[in-house]
Amino acid sequence: MKLRGRGPAGATLAIVAEGFLSRLSFGFVGLALPLYALHLNMSFTQIGFLVSVNTVLQLVAKPLMAPLADRFGHRRTLIVAIAGRSLVCLLFVFSTMAWQLFAIRMLYGLTQALRDPPLNAVIADAGGKKKVASMFSWYHTAKNVAASLGRAGAGVMLALGASMGNRGYQLVFLVAFVLSLLPLGVVVKYLRPSERDHTPSGETSPSPGAPVGTKVWKFTLLGFLFGTTAGMLNLFPAIAAEYFGLKPAQIGFIMLASALVIIVAGPVFGWLADHGSRTLVLMIRGFANIISSVMYLVFPSVWGVGASKMVDDTGKAAFRPAWGSVMAEVAAEQPHRRARVMAWIDTGEDAGDAAGPILAGGLLTLGGPHGLALMLGVRCGLAAVTEVWTWWTTHRKSGQPAWVPHDTSDDTHDPSRLP
């Protein structure tokens, strides 16, 4: 897929713009939703399920929806999915009860299940043979920076509208809906259909069997461990407000400050994953989870919480490019089923994203006054297990030290030579 008249560089700009604008919109939702749930007197356990319910549904639906992208084309599928996400933002404006929030989050999960497989395939195609990790890095850097900007904006809006009650939150959701229309325009206008989009459905699409093998399940499990450990901090806005006494504006600005780390670290880690060792880049995520968890307990001030969040997001910036590169290599073995293979691998991370907030919410409730220490202690333990599995999965297969540079000259799309 190429930007009309501008070649591969234009395609890169279009992909990055879609990621930035989409996440800018849902950055507003990401901060406002947990705080709105607290405003509606929902417990931490309920909030944990609320944050995860979309991922649970996405986990089930993604392998079923991925064949649609391979059959009907990545561009068409993206347009439908992004339009559905805009509808989700609009529905939040009219939500006033807990069950409505759960229903809308479930719809959001369906749209994400439809969107992610073709999007990952488009990014992998645009990255080519030697720059796939860098392409994922630029995309996720733009996305994470936009999320921080959106959360900061939501924090300011909620602070200014503190006396408005429900209407203050509904105004934030309305802004998110307006912003969600922008990425739809980018895709419709600038992403040209690929050959697959022009091919009659079914001619190049093999039978929709599940492309599961030893190589796939190993990385699926690794994604689950990464997703669970990181997902436990998806309740950050509610935790920061309840345990550290931070105001919405402070929470928003902390998330904005963490974007500076992502801007600098994301492209650097993408380059390292392409030209160095993906194993070491992946392992940075686990170390960051452990260090940040300890920092939250040792430095409970607003500055300490901010520094802890920045360390946490450093790990996030490292994980995305390396993980995208791994998915692209495994999927390259079946080019006509690329969206499906990537969806199966990504399902592990989705499962972790769903389990993390539920586990964190349960531990926070179970631990009472010591709930935060209990939750962060469990998170450190899971991160340590993740580090061991990362090393075993990548290092043991190659038989080479993790620091050995990855040769991208001729094996970038050879899945048998991971990493």
Give the closest residue to 186 by CA, choosing from 147, 139, 136, 133. Answer: 139
Q: Which mean pLDDT values do the consecutive 10-residue runs of the chain (419 residues) have?
A: 46 76 87 88 85 81 78 81 90 91 92 83 68 73 80 85 82 92 81 54 43 66 85 84 86 78 76 73 83 90 90 82 73 67 76 84 85 91 86 58 40 40
Cα gap 226→216, rounded to integer Å: 15
Sorted by sequence, the CB contacts under 8 Å of residue 45 that are 6+ apart come out as 361, 362, 364, 365
DSSP conformational letter for 202 = T
Integer Cα distance of 365 and 243 in angstroms:
12
**Does some domain include residue 410?**
no
Provide the domain limits for residue 187: 7-193+209-404
- The position carrying tokens 């709930």 is 371
Length, in residues, of the chain: 419
- Minimal CA–CA distance to 311: which of 230, 222, 253? 230
Structure-token pair, residue 188:
């419709």
Which residues have a Cβ under 8 Å from the Cβ of 13 and sit 6 or more positions away? Answer: 3, 6
| 50 neighbors 101 (Cβ within 8 angstroms) | yes
116 vs 344: CA distance, rounded Å: 11
pLDDT at residue 265, rounded to an integer: 76
Decide if 409 is inside a domain: no
What pLDDT score was predicted for residue 333? 66
Task: Classify residue 137: in a domain, yes or no.
Answer: yes
- Identify whether 203 is part of a domain: no
CATH classification of the domain holding 101? 1.20.1250.20
Task: Please report whether residue 198 resides in a domain.
Answer: no
For residue 161, which amino acid is it? Answer: G
Is pTM beyond 0.75? Reply is no
CA–centroid distance for 305 within its chain: 22
Residue 112's closest CA among 50, 58, 63, 41? 58
Domains: count for the chain: 1
The 3-state DSSP composition of the chain as helix, strand, coil percent (nearest 5) reads 80, 0, 15
Q: Which of 393, 405, 45, 354 is nearest to 230 (CA)?
A: 354
Is residue 226 domain-resident?
A: yes
Alpha carbon distances (Å) from 386 to 11, 284, 401, 412, 416: 35, 11, 18, 25, 22
- Using alpha carbons, list the distances in angstroms from residue 35 to 130, 373, 414: 42, 21, 46
Pairwise CA distance, residues 195 & 192, whole Å: 10
- Per the CB < 8 A criterion, the answer to whether 126 and 11 are in contact is yes
Instruction: Establish if 304 belongs to a structural domain.
Output: yes
- Rounded CA-CA distance 180/22 in Å is 6
> Within a domain: residue 57?
yes
Q: What is the pLDDT of residue 101?
A: 92
| Of the candidates 73, 79, 328, 339, the residue with the CA atom closest to the CA atom of residue 195 | 73
